Chains A and B, each alone.
Chain A
């Protein structure tokens, strides 16, 4: 991702080793303030390690992580004031009520004491737990616990929210609520970094994506740049009622370059190098050759396509 003018988080040649293993290879990354940045990759790709280094929970073997210009491993407490963090597996303090739980963290984050009661009410309403204010956390359902965790993470109005697989274990409705909440937080100016190995979770609301594989950041860009077609390369779907595949193939080759194709009965999914004019020519050629077309569509590249192109591992 180029031309980051206002990075909220910067990784500079960050590397992490565990014993003899390299969990994260030297990595440079800057994330623009105000983004929802999705970090995707299979289990073991290094996403959690990267997020934990960004929170100051894990020291990099070499390199530097800056949050708002503060190096987190030198001034952890100052940098952590800008961070809200939520991991996939965690527990709440079971012997506290939801209100007491948030009150503990509000004081621990050094929020002004007079603001704390109002802010707790505000975040409990935001995550839909206002009716559970005085309930012990051990009595909350999985979804409610996750929402309370999120309330804790946003309690001190962090500029940067780091979420590590936040939707794991949530039912579809709770996932939708989580997504809506994150979009709302983005509109309020919070930068969100969210990791997942479930692509469907991130597509649609992330503004930038980083793809990790075996400890390397394979690709990082805005969603539009990532899914845009480079040059004249296009993915076409063609389906017809009558006419043979050879005629169709010949028409494509006469119009431009056929890069790859997956043929099946009366249809093809192919990658071609065609300008818009050549695309129109192709359509005319097929009609002229008597091919009765029922579908002639250019397929937009999805994050999943990009990921599958880059990754050799299976994803959900």
Chain B
């Protein structure tokens, strides 16, 4: 691995972004803004505003610039040359992560001395250092996540979506600690905000310097049933998430968009288990005092499981040409059914088993055991298998945007089911997955039978499709059937 200062990708960005004129302009504007705030308010307000701007501005800048970078390489057609170099995926990611947001890093770096002034006004230097360490780690997580997003997104529309997501997350994190919970979605410990919260005063942007006895390193949160130092949990979560993102990047950063497969199938199951374990631990740690709050947590975890099942299903969809080759091999006994290029449905089943195991474990620990939750999870798995098989079938139909088209059809189906359920309420539990409440004892079996039959039918349809040979047509020749191949003797001489 090349040192970052010798990393060609980083050097490229440094040369392109930090031209002398730009560097001087960025530093000058940053200092001018600090001077203006100090002029209209006081030094303390200025220091508080600068620290807050660092904490909010840098992750947003990192997210939006990294979220654009790979999609821009594709759009400007520099991506191919990038891929033919000997730079390893790790070097590319490191260069991108440190190079793409360089202007934001420069702006923060040039105003760090202002933040350091806070030490002179009763702020514990260890606290300040820990907050900036957390900011750096959070930016790495946001940056790697944004690069993953950038690999698959299309230009411009994608970057706007990403900026919204990061913005909403930052706002929700800030609101979480502002409301005094200190946890919010639980993941706010990944950000520097819960620690910063103890230093913020009532006035926006002003640091409560009287709270100098607060120590970031001693603050703890309940994770599962154990109190864990929040700083340690924050570091672990940031490292875990950026580790998963790095894995996705290293597998895919040099691939074409249509060849992307974020994780292998076993890794995808592992990712689902990691996410569900994390949220169960955070959910348990909430320890609600009211039954209604407990129910909301349970439903949230159930929704999370549903999302994960569909997410894993989508991640494990196989490109049609690879599915066809696997089918040919499998039908002649040269491959296994659980192969990386096989049908995705067995992996939905495997994920369901893992998620149910975690849910059972969590329920046992928290003493909120609920068999209905497990039943419902099983039922959702049948629907997920059906829907993912349908999406896989759509992928083999040569639609222009198969996943989007398939999702539209599914959306339409569920919309019609909801309409029908207004007049025939019983239909809903037969034709759509359960979300809340209890089921009648007979319904699950009937639902499983009906949906199992539909999924089986779809699989049969898909298998029939795979038996047909691929069309001998070049994609740019307009899809006409191929004429018999000419031979030398078939042409009269002119």
Q: How far is it, in angstroms, between the C-alpha of A92 and the C-alpha of B325 when the chains are bound? A: 38
Select which of A58, A61, A85, A214 is within 8 A of B473 by beta carbon: A214
- Indicate which residue in A22, A52, A218, A259 contacts B485 across the interface (CB closer than 8 Å): A218
Q: In the complex, which residues 1-42 of chain A have their Cβ closer than 8 Å to any Cβ of chain B?
A: 17-23, 25
Closest residue on chain A to residue B399 by CB atoms: A19
A225 at the interface (CB under 8 A from B): no
Residues of chain B from 307 to 363 with CB closer than 8 A to chain A in the complex: 320-322, 324-325
Q: A87-B80, A100-B15, A104-B11 are in contact. Are A22 and B86 (CB under 8 A)?
A: no
The reply to whether A17 and B474 form a contact with Cβ atoms under 8 Å apart is no
Chain B CB within 8 A of A210 CB: no
On chain A, the residues within 8 Å of B39 by CB distance are none
Query: Which residues of B lie under 8 Å from residue A77 when comparing CB positions?
Result: 86, 88
Q: Which residue of the partner chain A has the closest CB to B92?
A: A108
CA distance A20 to B395 in the complex (A): 10
- Judging by beta carbons under 8 Å apart, are B85 and A80 in contact? yes
Q: Which of B474, B476, B482 has the most CB of A within 10 A?
A: B474
Closest to A113 in B: B6
Residues 450-494 of chain B, each 1 if its beta carbon lies under 8 Å from chain A, else 0: 000000000000000000001111111101001101101001111
Instruction: State whether A25 touches B81 (Cβ < 8 A).
Output: no
B85 touching A105, Cβ below 8 Å: yes
Min CB gap B80→A, angstroms: 6
Given A19-B398, A109-B85, are A91 and B476 also a contact pair (CB < 8 Å)? no
Report if A62 contacts B (CB, 8 A). Answer: yes
Of all chain A residues, the one with the shortest Cβ separation from B321 is A17
Write out the residue numbers on chain B whose beta carbons fall within 8 Å of the beta carbon of A260. Answer: 492-494
Q: Cβ of B80 and Cβ of A85 under 8 Å apart?
A: yes
Collect the chain A residues with CB atoms within 8 Å of residue B16's CB: 93, 95-96
Tell me if B396 is interfacial: C-beta within 8 Å of chain A: yes
Q: How far is the CB of A154 from chain B (nearest CB, A)?
A: 13
Number of A-B contacts (CB under 8 A): 136
A311 and B482 CA atoms in complex are apart in Å by: 13
In the bound complex, how far is the Cα of B259 from the Cα of A110, in angstroms? 27
Please name all residues of chain B whose beta carbon is closer than 8 Å to the beta carbon of A62 when the two chains form the complex: 325
Asked if A59 is at the interface of the complex by the 8 Å CB criterion, the answer is yes
A308 in contact (CB, < 8 A)? yes
Task: Report the minimal beta-carbon distance from B494 to chain A, rounded to whole angstroms.
Answer: 6
The answer to whether A43 and B476 have CB atoms under 8 Å apart is: yes
Residue B281 CB within 8 A of the other chain: no
A34-89: which have CB < 8 Å to B? 43-46, 52, 55-59, 61-62, 76-77, 80-81, 83, 85, 87, 89
Which B residues lie within 8 Å of A56 (CB)?
83-84
Bound-state Cα–Cα, A77 to B488, Å: 40
Tell whether, in the assembled complex, residue A57 and residue B472 are in contact, meaning their CB atoms are under 8 Å apart: no
Q: Please give, as numbers and ranges, the residues of chain B lying within 8 Å of A45 by CB-CB distance.
A: 474
CB–CB A22/B473 < 8 A: yes
Asked if B8 lies at the interface with its beta carbon under 8 angstroms from chain A, I say yes
CB distance from A219 to the nearest CB of B (A): 8
* A118 contacts the other chain (CB 8 A): no
Q: Classify chain A: how many residues form its interface, as a range.
A: 35 or more
B256 in the interface, Cβ–Cβ < 8 Å?
Answer: yes
Residues of chain A within 8 A of B292, CB atoms compared: none
Closest to A21 in B: B475
**Contacts A21-B473, A22-B473, A25-B472 given; does A104 touch B396 at CB 8 Å:** no
On whether A61 and B15 interact (CB within 8 A), knowing A25-B472, A80-B85, A260-B493, the answer reads: no
Question: Considering the chains assembled together, what is the distance between the CA atoms of A308 and B76 in angstroms?
Answer: 36
- C-alpha gap A17/B471 in the complex (Å): 9
Instruction: Select one of B12, B471, B476 contacting A22, CB under 8 A.
Output: B471
**Is residue A288 contacting chain B, with contact meaning CB distance below 8 A?**
no
Does A159 make an interface contact (CB < 8 A)?
A: no
Shortest CB-to-CB span from B341 to chain A, Å, is: 11
Q: Does the CB pair A215–B11 fall under 8 Å? A: no
Q: Quick one: closest B residue to A233, CB to CB?
A: B493
Contact A96 B322 (CB under 8 A): no
Task: Check: B179 CB closer than 8 A to any chain A CB.
Answer: no
Quick one: closest A residue to B396, CB to CB? Answer: A20
B78 at the interface (CB under 8 A from A): yes
The answer to whether the Cβ of B218 comes within 8 Å of any Cβ in the partner chain is no
Q: Contact: A310 with B470, CB < 8 Å?
A: no
Nearest-neighbour CB distance to chain B for A244, whole angstroms, equals 23
> What CA separation (Å) do A41 and B472 show in the bound complex?
17
A152 is an interface residue with CB less than 8 A from chain B: yes
Mask: chain B, 378-408; 1 = CB below 8 Å from A; 0 = not: 0000000000000000011010000000000
Contacts of B285-324 to chain A: CB distance below 8 A: 320-322, 324
Quick one: which of A80, A108, A259 contacts B493, CB cutoff 8 A?
A259
Q: A270-316: which have CB < 8 Å to B? A: 271, 308-312
Of all chain A residues, the one with the shortest Cβ separation from B488 is A309
- The residue of chain A having its C-beta at the shortest distance from the C-beta of B472 within the complex is A22
Cα separation A308 to B493 with both chains bound (whole Å): 9
Smallest Cβ-Cβ distance to A90: which chain B residue: B77
A216 to B472, CA, bound (A): 10
- Does A142 have its Cβ within 8 Å of any Cβ on chain B? no
CA distance A23 to B476 in the complex (A): 9
Instruction: Using known A-B contacts A85-B84, A95-B16, determine if residue A215 contacts B77 with beta carbons closer than 8 Å.
Output: no
B87 within 8 A of A: yes
Please give the distance in Å from B329's CB to the nearest CB on chain A: 10
Residue B254 at the A interface, CB < 8 A? yes
CB distance from B393 to the nearest CB of A (A): 12
Residues of A within 8 A of B325 (CB): 61-62
Whether the pair A89, B77 counts as a contact (CB closer than 8 A) is yes
CB distance from B2 to the nearest CB of A (A): 8
**Bound CA–CA A312/B491 (angstroms):** 9
Give A140 Cβ to nearest chain B Cβ, in Å.
15
In the complex, chain B residues whose CB is within 8 Å of the CB of A59: 259
A214 surroundings in chain B (CB, below 8 A): 472-474, 477, 482, 485
Which one of B11, B322, B483, B493 has the highest number of Cβ atoms from chain A below 10 Å of its Cβ?
Answer: B493
* Inter-chain pairs besides A21-B475, A310-B491, 13 sampled, C-beta below 8 Å: A17-B324, A17-B470, A18-B321, A21-B479, A44-B477, A55-B80, A56-B83, A80-B84, A85-B81, A95-B16, A104-B12, A108-B87, A213-B485
Cross-chain pairs A/B with CB under 8 angstroms, 12 sampled: A18-B258, A56-B84, A77-B86, A80-B86, A85-B84, A93-B78, A95-B17, A213-B486, A214-B473, A218-B485, A218-B486, A309-B488
Query: Which A-B residue pairs are the 7 nearest by beta carbons?
Result: A44-B476, A108-B85, A17-B321, A107-B8, A95-B16, A271-B493, A91-B76
